[in-house]
Amino acid sequence: MVGKKADLGDRQEVDDSWLRAGGFHMLHARLISRLMVNMSGGVMENAGLLLDRHGIPYIPGSAVKGCARRMALQALHHWVKSPGQHRDGEDPGTPCCEGFRSPAEMLATIAAVFGWAGQDWEQGSDFVWACGTDENGWASLSDARDLLSERISWLLGGAPPARRMSGFSGSVAFLAARPNKDPGLEIEVLTPHHGDYYCGKNPNAVATDTENPLPVFFPAVKSQNEEDYFTFPLLPLRGSDARIIGIAQRWLASGLSIFGLGAKTNAGYGVFEILPESAIKEAKAAAQITASDFASEVIFKSRVLDLLERPQAYQNLIQEVELLKKTENADWLAKLRERLASPSGKDARKRLKDKEWFPKEWLPTT
């Protein structure tokens, strides 16, 4: 079952500035139902889900990429099979097809984003399924390969490769998605009532009510709170531009909200709500105000007391003042008022007296 997780308390907000500095593009989404990933081999083999070294669940990049690819191919398939619904906007996958002049152009972009192997262009592949096996479908496959030959040449900066390209690893990297805070795990139960029947052990080949139900317990990731979310980083590769990344993000966003991610999505598991960037900024601001534990005298000194002597850093002190207003921080507030009332706090008293954001009742009366 689930191993004991390290007691880390409330995990602080994840700093994603290094991702932005590294050229990553990020999509944020809130998990609104339970999630089960890494369950493809069966319940018993994968009962631990995917946990990092701190015991925090995460979603592997391969699953993220698979979700976006599935959505793109499904949208293309609907476009080809139901062009009327596509034009009328009745198909939920219609936004995934926007900006493409033909199914062949969309398939070429799908292949360029996610990559392909040689068998993807042969009978029985999902490329063939998406375009259809009639004459129009095969024509779309042929046209897509011609477009790819030119596009890959542009991406790689070389001569056009042969029309039958053996494989390509894709122009967008989908990294593992991680939560801003630990959502925690819950125990799920699956209870087969007719195990002998499904295993072929019942001599009459009839599912009767004489068998004993056998509960099987396994973990699932909890749905997230209103202020929490997962971050899905995407990285452009091999000369891909902002347009290609934008298309990949659009496919991923639709896949997360329409199909979901992980196991048992048909039962409503693994569904996400896409969040705009403004919502993420608000969540981060709220997290700064609610993180009220200064933990130690050393941290309190560096985050509050040392700032009193640095007027140029008072912008940082505003945030700490909001924390000190919380009732659970009354002891830390008392330490601040003690410092301001002491002779060493004389200069700080003069500076803070004129600051609108600083509570005047915290200053000594004499």
For tokens 């590769």, what's the residue? 237
Is 255 in the same domain as 318? no
Is 174 in the same domain as 302? no
Is 314 in the same domain as 271? no
Q: For residues 171 and 16, which has the higher predicted lDDT (pLDDT)?
A: 171
Is 27 in the same domain as 112? yes
Integer CA distances (angstroms), 325 to 309, 311, 322, 348, 352, in order: 21, 21, 5, 19, 16
* Alpha-carbon dihedral 65, 70, 76, 79, rounded to 10 degrees: -140
Runs of H (alpha helix) within 157-209? 195-198
pLDDT in tens, 324-359: 888 888 888 999 999 999 998 889 998 998 888 999
Domain count, the chain: 2
Is 327 domain-assigned? yes
Is 136 in the same domain as 254? yes
φ, ψ dihedrals at 349, nearest 5°:
-60, -45
Is 320 in the same domain as 276? no
CA end-to-end span of the chain: 63
Is 345 domain-assigned? yes
| Listed range (8-22, 58-72, 200-214, 252-266) with the worst mean pLDDT | 8-22
What is the Cα–Cα distance from 299 to 293, expressed in whole angstroms? 10
pTM of the shown model: 0.68
Q: 308 is in which domain, residue-wise?
A: 292-362
Average pLDDT over residues 296-321: 82
